[in-house]
Chains A and B, each alone.
Chain A
Amino acid sequence: MTRTRWISLLGRYGVVVALLLLILFGWLRYDYFLGFFNISSVLRYNSMFALVALGMCFVIMTGGIDLSVGSTAALGSVVAALFSPQGTWIGLGAGVGAGLCVGLVNATLVTRLKIMPFIATLATMLAASGTALLLADNQSVSVSYDSGFTSIGQDNFFGFPIPAWIALAAYVAGWIILNFTSTGRGVLAVGGNEDATRMMGLPVGRIKFLVYLASGGLAGLAGVILASQFGAGQPIEGVGWELFAIAAVVVGGTLLTGGVGSVGATLAGVLLLGILFNVLNFENGKGWISLSAYWQSVIRGLFLLIVVVLQAKLAARGDAAVRDH
């Protein structure tokens, strides 16, 4: 029992400890690590991933998965770029709207047609990417620089990048929804035991529908930031984002089988993986070693492996504990 609890504590706070240690390491070792420029560029870049990971976190908590987030973001960036001449808000709304459309398709496939989440979202991953390429005519779409659209991704607000504020707002909202609304608790209950949740009288179908919709919308929002930050809608961006998001969510202690999860720890997971990349850059800058950027996916996979094995052991122990009594 105590051992189970120990592992679950590790699962819960391990990521925060690791994050703090990594920041401490960076601060002690590199001169400009905690400098304003580095902090704001890390935040600016990772806020897109943070948004995608937030949606993924909710989907995974219900026991599902959304593999379409990367190409949904790409589609969102293209649509936002196409609409950007009409104004900042219209561009923003169009990008998010495109994401919501993909989310709607996913939600319908999973909850109405009962298609396995990973097959459904793999297919929409293809479809979204194809649509993005069609709309963009196979090239990147430049955004309008007159309408102020680029300020979403490039400007600061109270000294911090706007994308970081957006991500922060999304996480606060996500945290409140998860912890202080019935829908949020329903998300965790569905992932923990779908049949029991249905027997308890909760609207299982609606809860699942909402998480896929939200995941699509957040991916669209990430796409808007992408377009605005780099000045173009990019139909071939977003490859592998789903992997980053899944890794961040799982490293944050959310069970891939659903039922246990935390919004805060997901944010910590995103920052941990993002800053790891940043540290790698600094380390290469020092010239002692030269670890290529490619190491990050190996390390990401390694993190995932450790967490997944730990989770499996925890689940086995949990089962045994239930059986013994």
Chain B
Amino acid sequence: MDTDILLSMTGIDKRFAGIPALSAASFTVARGEVHALIGQNGAGKSTLIKVLTGYHRRDAGEVTFDGKPFEVSSPQQAQANGISTIYQEINLVPYRSLTENICLGREKRRFGLLDWASMHREAENLLQRFNIRADVRRPLMEFNTATQQMVAIARAIGFSAKLVIMDEPTSSLDEREVGVLFNVIRQLKQDGVSVVFVSHKLDELYAVCDRVTIMRDGRTVKTARMDDIEKIDLVSSMLGRSMEKTEGHATAFTARDEKNIGKVLLSADNLAVGQIVQDVSFTIRSGEIAGFAGLLGAGRTETARLVFGIDRLKAGAMTYGDKRFEPRRPSDAIAAGMGFCTEDRKSEGIVPDMSVAENMMLALMPKLAKSGVIDEKAQQEIVKRFIRQLGIKCSGPDQKVRELSGGNQQKVLLGRWLAMNPRLLILDEPTRGIDVGAKGEIQSLIKSLADQGLAVLMISSELEEVIEGADRVFVLRDGISVAEFGRAAATEDALMGAMAHGNAPVVAEARI
């Protein structure tokens, strides 16, 4: 066996409730290598990592680490065996000091009691390796995210990790902080520690990674040296130009009549909030389906949240139907005639213990009530109508919504907004996690709604959906709207080009 190989995973299978999340996936990391792991949402990256760190048990396949078969049943065990993971939401204890966060679990003792002096010294030394000088006695919460991440890394090194997995470490860092992190990664590499780097910012991969593994639909589709692969190839491998759907339509979207598109309903100029949305501009006309395309973390969902008043703008302005639009909370947007189907149906969409009817009427209810009393009959009629129109498969309006399939839950949520008779509907990944049949139904529904004059803002990670569904496509890249395409110009190549290169400043040049 090649001694330069630190980790090798082969033929990994993992199924959830019979549905494969990983099929024969493989992944190899060399010693002292920075290895990028990329893929769309649901491609299986995080499942692969969780299998590796013992969070999930694999159904089949082999893992060798450091020359030995690797069998762990918990992240703690993985940590003890040399694999540390640094999560996107930093998994540390905010109120406790840097020292404690670095040393908890392997404290130093003298005479049976904790030896704070030497623990502080060790924490300081570990941080200094990354050129971080901080008062290690202060609580973690007083430091910025970048420092917190360094603390997590220092903790991993302190546990003499041979492999550090970083899950989207740069998503909340600014450019300077990213530079510091990259220096740390190079330092780790010099010390012979391997790093698995999960990110969606392509420029970053070129700046710091040696090799890249691309996953799609639970399989490993490509492993290559960063020097040998073009950005556009990365994007196309990730999005998977599916061979089986070469001709005709891949979605249920059909041609639209331009006549149905009216005047501009919403225009957004230079929206910004934090690092995630930096400068996004777009317009939507009534009767139009506007698509947002972009890689994960490009700021699409965050932009939608700004429009719907969930988050507050830091900069920029919106105009909605000729008036300045400054929503302070979702109810403002709802009052203005907007609806928002969230990407995360489970935690932000459905109320699981409520019935189909109750879920569907949640937003409309106040309008339909007579002095606060629900008009049960009127509700039942509307609910039944939508169940029929949307083709929701349920035992009846009173079935609990959590007993429904994902596609039917999505239709219930669509019904919640359609019942309001909205002017603008924001759909964030409307067909994710939904079986093929229901997917087509939802797509044709979106089209017919637009034909009736509804403005639709559709966020989708599936290129076909945006290309075939949207009348105009806005491409977002690293929080900036970099390109706009009309229906004719929105080809796969054009979109992928914009996602890969855009015209935003390139991080790789900004750092050094």
Contacts and interface: CB of A to CB of B under 8 A. Distances in A.
Touching chains A and B, CB distance < 8 Å? yes
Interface of A: 1, 4-5, 176, 179-182, 185-186, 188-189, 191-193, 195-202, 255, 259-260, 318, 321-325
Contacts of A255: 95
A200 B96 contact: no
A201 B79 contact: yes
Contact of A196 (B93, B116, B144, B172): B93
Interface string B85-96: 000000111111
A325 B146 CA distance: 8
B508 interface: no
B437 interface: no
Contacts of A193: 91-94
Contacts of A4: 142
Contacts of A260: 95
Contact of A189 (B76, B96, B141): B96
7 contacts: A176-B113, A193-B91, A193-B92, A200-B104, A201-B105, A259-B93, A325-B145
Contact of A188 (B91, B96, B141): B96
Given A180-B114, A185-B100, A322-B141, A200 B95 contact: no
Contacts of B145: 322, 325
Nearest to A188: B96
A199 B83 CA distance: 13
A5 B105 contact: no
B502 interface: no
B76 A200 contact: yes
Given A1-B142, A181-B114, A322 B104 contact: no
Interface centre among A186, A196, A198, A202 (most CB of B within 10 A): A196
B92 A196 contact: yes
A180 B95 CA distance: 18
Pairs of residues from A and B, 4 with the lowest C-beta to C-beta distance, nearest first: A325-B144, A201-B76, A192-B93, A180-B113
Majority DSSP secondary structure for residues of A touching B: helix
A322 to B, nearest CB: 6
Contacts of A318: 94, 141
B476 to A, nearest CB: 21
Nearest to B159: A201
Interface string B137-178: 000011011101000000000000000000000001000000
Interface residues of B, number: 25
Given A321-B141, A325-B145, A199 B76 contact: yes
B355 to A, nearest CB: 27
A177 to B, nearest CB: 10
B95 A179 contact: no
B489 interface: no
B497 interface: no
Nearest to B111: A180
Given A185-B104, A201-B79, A202-B105, A322 B114 contact: no
B210 to A, nearest CB: 28
Given A195-B91, A255-B95, A321-B141, 9 more contacts: A4-B142, A188-B93, A188-B100, A189-B93, A192-B95, A193-B92, A200-B104, A201-B76, A322-B94
B107 interface: yes
B91 A196 contact: yes
B75 A199 contact: yes
Nearest to A8: B139
A297 B106 CA distance: 44
B142 A192 contact: no
A325 B90 CA distance: 13
Interface in B66-109: 75-76, 79-80, 91-96, 100, 104-105, 107
Contacts of B142: 1, 4-5, 321
Nearest to A255: B95
Given A1-B142, A321-B142, A322-B141, A192 B104 contact: no
Contact of B114 (A185, A192, A198, A202): A185
Given A180-B113, A182-B107, A188 B95 contact: yes
Contacts of B79: 201
Most buried by A among B96, B142, B146: B96
Contacts of B116: 180
A182 B141 CA distance: 21
A181 B95 contact: no
A77 B93 CA distance: 39
A257 B23 CA distance: 43
Contacts of B96: 185, 188-189, 192, 259
B107 A185 contact: yes
Contacts of B75: 199
Contacts of A198: 76
B155 to A, nearest CB: 8
B187 to A, nearest CB: 22
Interface in B460-506: none
A1 B147 CA distance: 15
Contacts of B100: 185, 188-189
Contacts of B113: 176, 180-181
A75 B91 CA distance: 42
Contacts of B172: 325
Contacts of B80: 201
Nearest to B275: A325
A181 B141 CA distance: 23
Interface string B112-132: 011010000000000000000
